[in-house]
């Protein structure tokens, strides 16, 4: 485990992670910082705790939307694969019948 330092809303946080996770964790911290700054700039609240909660809700909502889209795409891909398999099976059956 390695120690890294990230800044979120002007405060430093020391975190530990595996070396291979470092860049993704830093990117996540930057994303959280940007979201918290956007919440603060929108004037929704001035309390750091409330800013963090609203930012977390925004990010989780976005994650849930992306997960739903992912599931929909997986379903469509599975349906297409099933149709393609059926077409291949039909073509092979016709070929072997000839």
Give pLDDT tens digits for 37-80: 999 999 978 899 999 999 999 999 999 999 999 999 999 999 99
As given in the structure block, the two tokens for residue 83 are 């149709």
What domain range is 17 assigned to? 2-97
As given in the structure block, the two tokens for residue 59 are 């990010």
Mean of the per-residue pLDDT values of the chain: 96
Total domains present in the chain: 1
Distance CA 5, CA 80 (A): 46
Residues of the chain with pLDDT > 90: what percent? 92
pTM: 0.79
Distance CA 28, CA 61 (A): 16
Query: Are residues 14 and 5 in contact, defined by beta-carbon separation less than 8 angstroms?
Result: yes
Q: What is the CATH number of the domain that holds 54?
A: 3.30.160.880
């Amino acid at each position: 485990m390695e120690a890294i330092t990230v800044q979120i809303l002007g405060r430093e946080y020391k975190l530990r992670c595996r070396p291979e996770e470092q860049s993704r964790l830093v990117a996540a911290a930057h994303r959280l910082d940007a979201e918290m700054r956007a919440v603060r700039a929108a004037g929704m609240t001035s309390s750091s705790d409330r800013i963090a909660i609203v930012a977390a809700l925004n990010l989780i909502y976005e994650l849930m939307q992306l997960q739903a889209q992912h599931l929909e795409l997986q379903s469509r891909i599975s349906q297409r694969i099933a149709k393609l398999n059926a077409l291949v099976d039909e073509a092979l059956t016709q070929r072997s019948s000839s």
